[in-house]
Amino acid sequence: MLNITLGESKISCQANETVLEALLKANIQIPYGCQQGVCQSCLMCSLDAAPPVLAQAGLKDTLQKQNYFLACLCHPEQDMTVALPEQQGALLNASVIKKQQLTPDILRLVLQYDAELTFFAGQFVNLQRFDGLMRSYSIANSPQHDKILEFHIRRLPNGQFSNWVHDELGHGTPLTLTEAQGSCHYLPGRMEQPLLLIGTGSGLAPLYGIINDALAQGHTGAIHLYHGSRNQDGLYLIDEMRGLTKQFDNFNYTACLSGACVAEQAIETGYAQGRAHDLALNANQNLKGWRVYLCGHPEMVNQSKRAAYIKGASLSDIYADAFLVSNR
Amino acid sequence: MSATPETKNATLFEQLGGAGAVDAAVDIFYRKVLADYRINRFFDNVDMEKQAAKQKAFLTMAFGGPHNYTGEDMRKGHENLVKMGLDDSHFDAVMEHLGATLQELNVPQALIAQVAAIAESTRNDVLGR
């Protein structure tokens, strides 16, 4: 008999019992559905022991790495402390150490945090203001930097949080943040796999982190980044990206402008004309065996996900982060 | 796919290669369905991961594997699509892709016929009749 800890509750799990069965028997309700590992409704995360391999069948590799598992398939091999995906809400303190304007609308915000935080570039955290107002932002840097997180924050019209960050948040102002979440990040292994990354606007933030992570870990396959915006004002880190293409033979960068009146001069200076995902997907007819990262506007993300899949990428190799705008 | 039709007493699911075969088939089948202009509008605005999970449950059933699908689930799940105009022609298109998927995986004709018969048995529930 093994012990399962979920929040305040400690329950016992008999041999031949799954974590889901043990929880339900103890009258602890968690979301579940098919009970055969298909619907993934009973997704949970182990906070200590690595879950049994069989309990991770069918999960994305990035989720497996973060010790996610399906309660209905999990016959524990040792005592486990588990959490539901949204329960990992511990708050950390952080303070601003840098604000830099990247475009008229997008700000680079660098925070220093004070406790232990495990994350991958490309995951997201929730940033919380003193009054509780909270928004999700993608992490643009890899963990090797010393307790620092970088975000690219776009000012939204009427965006309560983004306007506050742009206009009022000062150096040293305290903020809180939640633990990193999300499965859109780089994992080593299959280093020769070609990568296709498509981002619009501040969707470059996670991709920038993922690319630096992949290059630092020695990814050998071709890496193709398409970053798009309507006009030149919306693109950023262009020189840095062009610099990377000189430094790494396998890195390719296309800056895409989709606006109706793109100046001829822009095309002559190395910008491509068209929407980032159209250009990226037209240039690559067969994506079988590719790994694809999509970040930014939800419509772009959804269309591209489908198109990449139809062109042969397997669903488990498509990592997407749709930037949903809060209505609150 | 490790289909072994000559094995006596093996269930259809085992002959087709079990859960691994379902995974291989879902990848090909769902891609064919999404690329088909006759039916892909029914899959607009769906979460692709969730939809792939449903396709997997459906194919597991059609392969004679363990499932807890009921006719009632099939009706409820397709109710909105029937309102959007889902009819026999669309069901036929899906059947066509199922057959083509299995052929691509070199499944013997006799087993394809068995899978098709199971899938066919859901027609009236899917179309809400």
**Between chains, do B53 and A39 touch, taking CB under 8 Å as contact?**
yes
Question: How near does any CA of chain A get to the CA of B35, in Å?
Answer: 6
User: Measured at the alpha carbon of residue A234, what is the angle toward residues A162 and A156, in degrees to the nearest 5?
Assistant: 20
Position B71 scores a pLDDT of 81
Domain-wise residue ranges, chain A: 2-87, 91-178, 195-322
Class of domain A195-322: alpha beta
Q: Which residue of A has its CA nearest to B46?
A: A302
Domains of chain B in sequence order: 12-126 (1.10.490.10)
Q: What angle do CA B100, B103, B109 make, to 5 degrees?
A: 115
How far apart CA B110 and CA A216 sit, in angstroms, is 52
How far is it, in rounded angstroms, from Cα A201 to Cα A251? Answer: 20
Q: Which ipTM value was assigned to this complex?
A: 0.83
- pLDDT, tens digit, for every residue of A258-312? 987 766 777 777 899 999 999 999 998 899 999 999 999 989 999 999 999 999 9
If you search the block for the tokens 């449903």, which residue do you land on? B54
Q: Is A309 on the interface with B (CB under 8 A)?
A: yes
Domain covering A91-178 assigned CATH 3.40.50.2300 in the classification: no
Q: Looking at domain A2-87, what is its CATH homologous superfamily?
A: Beta-grasp domain (3.10.20.30)
Name which of B34, B35, B57 is nearest A38 (Cβ-Cβ). B57
What pLDDT digit, counting tens, does each position of B17-27 carry?
988 899 999 99
What's the half-sphere exposure (Cβ side, CA atoms, 13 Å) at B53?
A: 18
Task: Give per-residue pLDDT as tens, A31-73.
Answer: 877 777 776 778 899 998 899 988 998 888 888 888 999 999 9
Helices (H), chain B: 12-16, 18-35, 48-62, 71-83, 88-104, 109-120, 123-126
Q: Are B82 and B128 in contact (CB under 8 A)?
A: yes
